[in-house]
Amino acid sequence: MTNSKDYQQEAQESKRKQVEDELKRNKDYLESLCNSLPEAIITVDIPDNIDDRTVRYVNKSVEKIFGCEQKELLGKSPVAQYARKEDFINSGKFFKSAISRGTKSIHRELLLKRKNGETFPAELTTTFLRTGGKVTQIISIIRDITERKKAEEALHLRANLLNEATDSIIATDLDGNLIYMNEATCRTRGYSKEEMLNMNLRQLVTPELTSLISGRIKKIRKEGSSYFESDHRRKDGSVFPVEITARTVNLGDDTIILAVIRDFTERKRMEAILQESEEKYRAVFEQAADSIVLIDPETGELVEFNDRAYENLGYTREEFTKLKIPDFDVVESDKKTAEHIEKIVKEGADVFETQHRTKDGWIKDIQVSSRAISIGGKQFVHGIWLDITERKRAQDAIASERNLLQIIMENTDVMLAYFDLDLNFVRVNSSYVRGSSHTIEELIGKYYFDLFPYKENQAIFERVRDTGEPVEYHDTPFEFKAQPWRGITYWDWTLTPVKDASGDVQGLVLSQVETTERRKLDQLKDEFIGLVSHELRTPLTVIMGSLNTILSERPRLSSDDTEQLLQDAALEAEKLSHLLGNLLELSRVQAQQLTLYSEPLMFDVVAQNAVEKIKRQSPGHRFRIELPGGLPIVIADSLRLERILYNLLENAVKYSPHDKEIRVFAKPEDDCLLIGVADQGIGISRNDQAKLFQPFQRLEQSVVNGVKGAGLGLLVCRRLVEAHGGRIWIESKPGRGSTFFFTLPLPGESRA
Ligand code: ADP
């Protein structure tokens, strides 16, 4: 039976079934959809007390994320088990406040726990479902974000660290779109972060390089990491060189490229500078005239050297490479070298002299300037060898020249003194010390005019110093104020400025020679000429007078008178002849042309002749010749020996009274014959004795007494005696007569 009520019921039933089917289909679809999602989906019933909430539904993914079966979660408190305790409490509070605020859904990150206790970072999206204004259910979608967190953290860390860095750090996706960049990237390129986030790698490089980007990305992906050099451009279009280290980073399913981009400009500049300085150093190194070496202090080996180093020693590069310092350094040994190098390393530097032996065996003097240097963190010893052989030689030459000068200075009679510009004594030679009668200490450093206060000389000294013009003076009188006893002395002196290379006066040299004696001699010579002329004229006057008288008065003269006049003339002629003879002898001595005509002689004969001659001059005196028997024969020039005796006898006659006896004696003594002439005349004081036998010496007493003479006789005696190899001297006392002695050497067989 079918009625409308049944039909209606049936229709309702079918409708409901349809809806139920529909619902079931939807639910199945939803469930399968939920199960296919990677996220965990948890539905939680919310009772009045939110802390009593229980899980109503979980999808399949919870098993993967929480490491448990689906059913283990159903009906349980969702968080108590799978959240950390503090998060559970916090999420209770959190939900309450969210519900009370009417929040529809919240999104947050927190740490959850897997079944095995391991925590993991999760992203949670919770939606609140309300029935009649009251929250009855929440649906949470939970995503495990461990991988993403790791990548983010790494990125974050780097970003933080490297935002400080000057290098650009960027991250791009695999198409080269920029997804991260540190501040340096923006700063160096002139873009804002926002601008850059919309840019692609292709916009960072110069236009001609854009086509390379894809290939490079491929390469990075393939190899995991890669290095490039490239040219980047800034916002303003300027280009700068960069080096890029890029690598791929996996972020879960995503892969990004992380790149560190370093601006090359500075490095390139540094490289250029380095290269330039390297080139400069090379040039200096190679072109230096000195040897330059680099030594490894550990091995003592020459690790680097320029061409000069081996050329100067005559080696080839190959030969030299094999050598160690002691192989050519004469002074060094292995041990000494090691110690020396150690010292240089310790003290930083050393300058010293040594000697190198060339391959050919020549020795060179070398000055070494060494320095410890560090190259790339390793210690080396850098050495410059300066060849100072020539310099040394020159120094030696200067030293020996100086020595020579010193020797000359010290051995000259010329007094030499060197003054500084303040006219203080700087140096003097020993003649100066002697001549000035000051000690060297009294002189050095003293102002000249403090010691020798002569105003007029001061002006001269200052003029020479200021004008640089030398002066020369002769026979300048000078009185030593501190030594008045020296009387007036005379000096030849020059004052010469000493100039440096540029002609500036550096000091003055005073050179002086005393001329007092020479002046005296000159005076004596003048006097002598006067005397000799006089001595010559006197006999000549007599001779001429006698002869003229005879010639004009002959008829009136008796033969006796004529005889007397002739004898007078003859006597004076003899004197004259004798005087001229003395003069001649002296000039021969002076001209070093005195030749002796020596022969064996009997002295008594010579003595006899001399006495005979003198007797004629002075008949009043008594003469006595005292000779012992067997007097040895002497070898002598008889005429010269006679002249000596005659001169001595003539003096004895001149300086003793007429009635006194004059004695000539001789006797052998040692290896010579001693001969003497003694008078009983006026004698000579000890003081005057010292002056005898000198040129042109006439003693005051003789001059005063008007005794004639030229001061020639004794000088001639001395010269002739010395020419015979003997000597002459006097013993005398004033008023007690004088005895002149002289010796003649005896021939070997005649000696006593
Ligand atoms: P002169 O021609 O003046 O005699 P000498 O050279 O012979 O020159 O003598 C030098 C001086 O020595 C003399 O001027 C005299 O003063 C002194 N003299 C020389 N012989 C004697 C002597 N026998 N007795 C004293 N004085 C003498």
Position 548 scores a pLDDT of 94
Question: What DSSP letter does each residue of 698-733 carry, written as one string?
Answer: --HHHHHTT----S-HHHHHHHHHHHTT--EEEEE-
In angstroms, the Cα distances linking 50 to 43, 83, 291, 365, 561 are 14, 16, 93, 102, 195
Position 714 scores a pLDDT of 93
Tell me how far apart the terminal alpha carbons of the chain are, to the nearest angstrom.
210
Helical axes 713-723 vs 559-590, angle rounded to 10°: 60
- For 235-264, letters b (16+ CB in 10 Å) and e give eeeeebebbbebbbeebeeeebbbbbbbbb
Helix (H/G/I), strand (E/B), else coil: 591: coil
Mean confidence (pLDDT) of the chain: 85
Position 314 scores a pLDDT of 93
Position 534 scores a pLDDT of 83
* Closest C-alpha to 738, from 654, 658, 669, 674: 654
pLDDT at 645 over 60: yes
Among protein residues, the one with the nearest Cα to ligand 1's atom 14 is 698
Q: Is 709 in the pocket of ligand 1 (CB under 6 A)?
A: yes
pLDDT at 160 over 70: no
Q: Give the Cα separation of 127 and 148 in Å (integer).
A: 23
Instruction: Locate all alpha helices (DSSP H) within 322-453, ordered by sequence.
Output: 325-328, 334-347, 389-411, 430-436, 440-443, 448-451
Position 126 scores a pLDDT of 82
Query: What one-letter code names the amino acid at 556?
Result: R
pLDDT at 338 over 80: yes
| Ligand 1 atom nearest to 702, measured from its CA | 16
Contact 37/144 with Cβ under 8 angstroms? no
Higher pLDDT among residues 169 and 643, named by residue: 643
Position 161 scores a pLDDT of 55
pLDDT in tens, 536-555: 888 899 999 999 999 999 88
Taking the centre of ligand 1 as the mean of its atom positions, its distance from the CA of residue 460, in whole angstroms, is 46
Which pLDDT band holds residue 750 (cuts at 50, 70, 90)?
low
Position 625 scores a pLDDT of 95
Query: What one-letter code names the amino acid at 122?
Result: A
Position 510 scores a pLDDT of 94
Position 738 scores a pLDDT of 96
368: enclosing H helix or E strand: strand 363-375
Q: What is the mean pLDDT of residues 366-389?
A: 84
pLDDT in tens, 36-91: 777 888 888 888 887 788 888 888 888 888 888 888 888 877 666 666 666 656 67
Q: Give the Cα separation of 672 and 633 in Å (integer).
A: 10
Position 371 scores a pLDDT of 86
Q: What is the mean pLDDT of residues 416-434?
A: 92
Among protein residues, the one with the nearest Cα to ligand 1's atom 11 is 698
Q: Give the Cα separation of 349 and 369 in Å (integer).
A: 8
Position 164 scores a pLDDT of 56
- For 569-603, letters b (16+ CB in 10 Å) and e give bebbbebbebbebbbebbeebeeeebeeeeeebeb
Q: Is 716 in the pocket of ligand 1 (CB under 6 A)?
A: no
pLDDT in tens, 568-594: 999 999 988 998 999 899 889 888 888
pLDDT in tens, 170-221: 889 989 999 888 888 898 899 998 999 999 999 999 988 888 899 999 998 8
In the chain, what percentage of residues exceed pLDDT 70?
91
Q: Is 677 in the pocket of ligand 1 (CB under 6 A)?
A: no
pLDDT at 667 over 60: yes
Query: What one-letter code names the amino acid at 235?
Result: K
Higher pLDDT among residues 542 and 250, named by residue: 542
Position 653 scores a pLDDT of 93
- Specify the pTM: 0.42
Question: What DSSP letter does each residue of 242-254 carry, written as one string?
Answer: EEEEEEEEEETTE
| Ligand 1 atom nearest to 711, measured from its CA | 8
Q: Give the Cα separation of 187 and 234 in Å (integer).
A: 10
Pocket test for ligand 1, best of 663, 702, 717, 736 (most atoms within 8 A of CB): 702
Pocket test for ligand 1, best of 533, 714, 721, 732 (most atoms within 8 A of CB): 714
Q: Is 43 in the pocket of ligand 1 (CB under 6 A)?
A: no
pLDDT at 1 over 60: no
pLDDT at 636 over 90: yes
Higher pLDDT among residues 119 and 83, named by residue: 119
pLDDT at 670 over 60: yes
Pocket test for ligand 1, best of 535, 651, 708 (most atoms within 8 A of CB): 651
